[in-house]
Amino acid sequence: MLLRILLLLGCLTLAVLGAEDFYKLLGLQKDASEREIKKAYRQLSKKYHPDKNPGDDSAHDKFVAIAEAYDILIDEETRRIYDQYGHEGIQQHKQGGGPRQHHDPFDLFRSFFGGTGHFGHGGGERRGPNMEVRVAVPLRDFYNGRKTEFTVEKQAICSSCEGSGSADGHVETCDLCGGRGVRIVRQQLAPGLFQQVQTHCEKCGGKGKMIKHPCPVCGGSRVVREPETHELHIEKGMPQGVRITYENEADESPDWVAGDLIVHLVETEPRLGQEDHERTDGTFFRRRGKDLFWREVLSLREAWMGDWRRNITHLDGHIVQLSRKRGEVVQPNHVEVIENEGMPVWHQLLENNAEEQYGALHVEYVVVLPDQMEKSMEKDFWNMWEKYRKKSGVVLDKEWGRPEGPIKMPEHDEL
């Protein structure tokens, strides 16, 4: 019997020593305020909720641990015990029959976000409206893929009063409407003729509840407007305008299960940034589907005589080289297609087990003519062209059979 007790105490000691620090678990400092503790719980509990991580036992364990950490740190007495004696002190406090009992993680979640404590679209619960936002990212993020964050302002359940609207947590049922928020009123239309109509209760304003001491943060409305940051994973080759859904991340209310936050990814206007990777030629590529487009400017000499080379810095920093040998002519508006230098094809558009694929880069050549020349240069060019014109030149009007004067058109009778 003594051996069993010693083994049990040893297991409890190992469990205490192996438990993760509550402050670290919530990502907080030891001097964190009550509001910071509630905010951390709100964010992490949604991130690791089992409904959002089906089949992931580690996420479920994390969800339970986060709820336990919040339950301990939000209470002044248990937080003081934990700060002074750590996990062992909390264990002894529980064994000693402390007045505070551990809450069910899903009940705790429900008190923050309404509903049953679970995410989802079924169950017959009232569901709030969806939110749609546009998030603009540069073309390089669509090309390379990126993990970043974005912030939206939304309606959130007040963490100070946990959605009750009351500073002391005390909410009374309206004695006039019995908590229904509406009353049946009898109105006389004429002598002996009456009509019954349903109207909002004027005492509670249709809420069915009465609060004597409103929460100083939300003013009794139970909700507040606040910014919320979400992680955004941009996958390589995602099409512009793609919709990314964050389940149950829309406006919150104690009266409904939050709807979905729907993000539309759009492309920002190209502009030069401060960092080297923000100042590449690829910054000004234009996208059309899986292909990219670029306009390259050539001088008259380059377009006519060749013997030039260009290095274009792509969106991921690699070099695409353009060139012509001497004597190779480039016609104005000629488009050169370079395979596999376009956008990566989004993995959802590839067939099963297909290797990574890329579109093409279309390079349009624009030839710029000089708007003025030195007198000596103009004379040299003129003499050279006159020599070849007299030797083998043609008059295009005659070559194409164009008339030398106006043509008389046939007359038509009026209708």
Q: Same CATH fold, 131-171+211-267 and 12-113?
A: no
pLDDT at 96: 67
Two structure tokens written together for 33? 């305020």
pLDDT over 50 at 3, yes or no = no
Give the mean pLDDT of 184-198: 77
pLDDT at 152: 95
- Sign, CA dihedral 282-288-293-295, equals negative
pLDDT at 8: 45
Q: How confident is the model at residue 45 (pLDDT cuts 50, 70, 90)?
A: confident
Q: What percent of the chain has pLDDT over 90?
A: 33
Report the C-alpha dihedral over residues 91, 93, 98, 101, rounded to 10 degrees. -30
pLDDT at 86: 85
pLDDT at 114: 59
Report the C-alpha dihedral over residues 219, 220, 221, 225, rounded to 10 degrees. 40
225 Cβ neighbours under 8 A, 6+ residues apart: 153, 154, 155, 156
Residues 288, 296: Cα–Cα separation, whole Å: 18
- Sign, CA dihedral 43-49-55-56, equals positive
pLDDT at 113: 66
pLDDT at 234: 96
Instruction: Give CATH for domain 131-171+211-267.
Output: 2.60.260.20
- Evaluate whether the domain defined by 12-113 bears CATH number 2.40.50.140: no
Least reliable range by pLDDT among 115-124, 274-283, 354-363: 115-124
Give the mean pLDDT of 43-50: 84
Least reliable range by pLDDT among 4-13, 222-231, 314-323: 4-13
Q: How confident is the model at residue 135 (pLDDT cuts 50, 70, 90)?
A: very high
pLDDT over 80 at 1, yes or no = no
Phi, psi of 383 (to 5 degrees): -60, -40
CB 220 within 8 A of CB 211: yes
pLDDT, tens only, 294-349 = 999 999 999 999 999 999 999 999 999 999 999 999 999 999 999 999 999 999 98
Nearest C-alpha neighbor of 209 from the set 237, 174, 238, 182:
174
pLDDT at 190: 74
pLDDT at 171: 82
Q: What percent of the chain has pLDDT over 70?
A: 89
pLDDT, tens only, 72-131 = 888 888 888 888 888 888 888 777 655 445 567 777 776 666 555 666 544 556 788 999
Sheet strands (E) in 235-358: 243-246, 261-267, 286-288, 291-299, 308-313, 319-324, 335-338
Least reliable range by pLDDT among 101-115, 222-236, 263-277: 101-115
Delimit the domains of the chain by residue range: 12-113, 131-171+211-267, 270-407
pLDDT over 90 at 185, yes or no = no
Q: How confident is the model at residue 10 (pLDDT cuts 50, 70, 90)?
A: very low
Q: How confident is the model at residue 169 (pLDDT cuts 50, 70, 90)?
A: confident
Q: How confident is the model at residue 15 (pLDDT cuts 50, 70, 90)?
A: very low
Mean pLDDT of the chain: 84
pLDDT over 80 at 359, yes or no = yes
Q: Which residue has the higher pLDDT, 2 or 154?
A: 154
CA-CA distances (angstroms) from residue 150 to 113, 135, 269, 348?
21, 8, 18, 23
Instruction: Give CATH for domain 270-407.
Output: 2.60.260.20
Q: Indicate the length of the chain as a whole number.
A: 415
Give the mean pLDDT of 348-377: 90
Least reliable range by pLDDT among 21-25, 110-114, 169-173, 407-411: 110-114
pLDDT at 182: 81
